[in-house]
Structure 1
């Protein structure tokens, strides 16, 4: 029978003494007493015999370190409890060891007892920390997997609505309200391991508060979902989306060489399917901006609706480009220079001088090009009846990447 197993020895209630030490050590942080289970009796037995902690005892400490994670007890608090218990026990060890041994502890023995006890305490803390860290890593992996699964279900619509609403509450999302989705990308694919999504979430929480926000990496991009206040107008929700995009872009700029990034902002929609719709709009906005070579870093789906309409009927827009612009291919050097001239002319508000400056040519040279366009196509930029056809055809050419890519012929 070990010393720790003797309830009363030499008139000293050993079990009661160990219990009082445990209660006093755990009271400061409100830590459950079960996290000290077995430690103090083992330490007392080490002091009595001079042995080391056994493999079983170290394994028990690892398990207790892991249990602390499940109970929500942080490692610093756990270590403080163990150190406090060790200090409190140390002051009573001579009396307790003497009671268990049945004789008084001599002063010369205290040095050996101290070395054995603190060596055991050190081994216990190492095992405790290892078990705690391992459990935290496992918990993080589980949470990350659960988060990825939720994001996939939310953005793809694979899950039923009711479970999605319940799961969204864990992340503070209010799916019944309007939600705006921002999708941000850079030159390189982004994943959770880069730390960028976490950085975006921290910055966004500092800007918008801790509720109604979810940030995750998906398909090489950062996806941010923000719940809008119930009283927000469409314009106010759009402003929130722009602000969120700027926050995400700022974080990406700090992680990427050259700071190149672009964000697509979906329109706010209510309900779980609304999040999916807003995300699709944000991705389409990015793709449209790329096809149109837009200069903006933040592109709103609401501003690109007319382009989405054109892009959805590729056959019709191809026919229009073929009918209006394909004759420009007969020009010396091909159609590209004349198509760029039309783009600059419309971008400058049909101002010849402004278009000439943009193209770095003289107004006379620009006028000659516009005249050549009229000769080849039969359409004039000064004729109101022709302007819409030319403008839509030029926009369609950009969507189709013509004349770099050939038009599809029936």
Structure 2
């Protein structure tokens, strides 16, 4: 509903045009170069009529003011300058308005002033509404343009040369190597939410806006940054922690050159997060380089499934199942194949670890203490983690 429409008095109509064009003439004292001169003259004419009729501005006049303010916003005119021009013009002419000159006493003059104040107030509100509407539309348009650019950047759906040109509009330089860091939290990130704004403001305050791009995609918080700025990932992680205050995980890609490298780095960071979830990794930050071996193994699922079944399948014959022996293998390889360190990690005695390693050799036919056979066992153990075995049964390849 337009401002002032409710409980409105009868509006000005053509029958009220008893006032001379004094207001129009008075407005000539204003800056003639203003692009809104015609609309300003029309508004002052309305004030002249209102000074006689004591009625309110018509809805059509208010809507015209809203449109005028929207056009001023599109031209970049400041709202304060627009309103100041209207208020100054009204103050300049009001004493010469016919209603003010015809008032015979203070009571009559007060009635004229009240009507004019009401009209000026309605006009000011209408100007503000029109300006703010245009401003919101401009913001939405800019956000849509930025969203389209981000999607093209991360999905690699457009010409790279054109993409680099568009990046300049958002203050991002795509020359040189870049990396991508992504964060996933319990509550998905979205554009404009509190957590996203907090991280973006912190990153752009700490680094240059030309060095980092903060955006969201598919519920993830994404940070694109140039390779030389190595302190971005730890600062990003700390800021995410402060913003969400809940369970989250961050993945860091490897450096790659050019816009196409950003696409690959983004995909790598996303797949690293997904892989970390599959492996049950609980570390705060997962570097893509640290899980590269799992990426390689996962590219041929049929082969790794066969390897786990052939090499580790015999562990299912152990009393209580293969889980304890598999955990021993994992800790053994992680400790550099040292029995004492393995025992300390598992909270067992060295004798127990030695027994378990011997039992693994008996059940699988592969000796973890033999350097020639160790690699096969270690690869199969990594594959078991990737496949979630033995918690999930092995699915034969098609």
Instruction: Verify same fold: TM over 0.5.
Output: yes
Q: Is the 8 A contact 2:27 2:93 kept in 1?
A: no
User: Does 2:51 match 1:42?
Assistant: no
Residue in structure 1 matching 2:26, options 1, 10, 17: 17
Q: How does 1:121-140 map to 2 (within 5 A)?
A: 121-140=120-139
- C-alpha offsets along residues 146-173 of structure 1, whole Å, 9 cap, x if unaligned? 2222222222222122322222111112
User: Does 2:102 match 1:97?
Assistant: no
User: Does 2:284 match 1:280?
Assistant: no
Displacement of 1:347 in angstroms is 2.3
User: Does 2:217 match 1:218?
Assistant: yes
SS in 1 for 2:97: helix
Residue segments in structure 2 that go unaligned for 5+ positions in a row: 1-15
Q: Is the 8 A contact 1:204 1:247 kept in 2?
A: no
- C-alpha offsets along residues 300-359 of structure 1, whole Å, 9 cap, x if unaligned? 223332322222122332232223211111101111111111112222333334333433
Give the whole-Å Cα distance in 1 for the aligned partners of 2:38 and 2:310. 80
Give the whole-Å Cα distance in 1 for the aligned partners of 2:134 and 2:291. 48
Give the whole-Å Cα distance in 1 for the aligned partners of 2:349 and 2:396. 37
Q: Is the 8 A contact 1:63 1:131 kept in 2?
A: yes
User: Does 2:272 match 1:271?
Assistant: no
SS in 2 for 1:349: coil
Give the whole-Å Cα distance in 1 for the aligned partners of 2:386 and 2:322. 16
Displacement of 1:34 in angstroms is 5.5
Using a 3 Å threshold, how does the CA distance of structure 1 residues 122 and 101 change in structure 2: closer, same or farther?
closer
User: Does 2:66 match 1:62?
Assistant: yes
Q: Name the residue aligned to 1:359.
A: 346
Q: Is the 8 A contact 2:339 2:353 kept in 1?
A: yes
Q: Name the residue aligned to 1:71.
A: 75
Displacement of 1:205 in angstroms is 0.3
User: Does 2:378 match 1:391?
Assistant: yes
Q: How does 1:300-311 map to 2 (within 5 A)?
A: 300-311=287-298
SS in 2 for 1:325: helix
SS in 2 for 1:192: coil
The size of the alignment, in residue pairs, is 381
Give the stretch that moved more between structures: 348-357 or 161-170.
348-357
Q: Is the 8 A contact 2:189 2:221 kept in 1?
A: yes
Q: Name the residue aligned to 2:4.
A: none
Using a 3 Å threshold, how does the CA distance of structure 1 residues 105 and 227 change in structure 2: closer, same or farther?
farther
User: Does 2:299 match 1:312?
Assistant: yes
Runs of 4+ in 1 over 6 A off after TM superposition: none
Give the whole-Å Cα distance in 2 for the aligned partners of 1:290 and 1:199. 26
Aligned CA-pair RMSD: 3.0
- C-alpha offsets along residues 70-96 of structure 1, whole Å, 9 cap, x if unaligned? 123454x25xx52564266336522x1
Give the stretch that moved more between structures: 184-193 or 351-360.
351-360
Using a 3 Å threshold, how does the CA distance of structure 1 residues 279 and 34 change in structure 2: closer, same or farther?
farther
Residue segments in structure 1 that go unaligned for 5+ positions in a row: none
Give the stretch that moved more between structures: 328-337 or 386-395.
386-395
Q: Name the residue aligned to 2:331.
A: 344
SS in 2 for 1:172: coil
Give the whole-Å Cα distance in 2 for the aligned partners of 1:183 and 1:311. 21
Q: Name the residue aligned to 1:148.
A: 147
SS in 2 for 1:408: coil
Q: TM-score, length-normalised on structure 1?
A: 0.82
Give the whole-Å Cα distance in 2 for the aligned partners of 1:156 and 1:132. 36
Q: Name the residue aligned to 1:253.
A: 244
Q: Is the 8 A contact 2:302 2:396 kept in 1?
A: no
Give the whole-Å Cα distance in 2 for the aligned partners of 1:359 and 1:390. 19
Give the whole-Å Cα distance in 2 for the aligned partners of 1:34 and 1:391. 82
Q: Is the 8 A contact 1:18 1:41 kept in 2?
A: no
Q: Is the 8 A contact 2:83 2:127 kept in 1?
A: no
Give the whole-Å Cα distance in 1 for the aligned partners of 2:262 and 2:61. 51
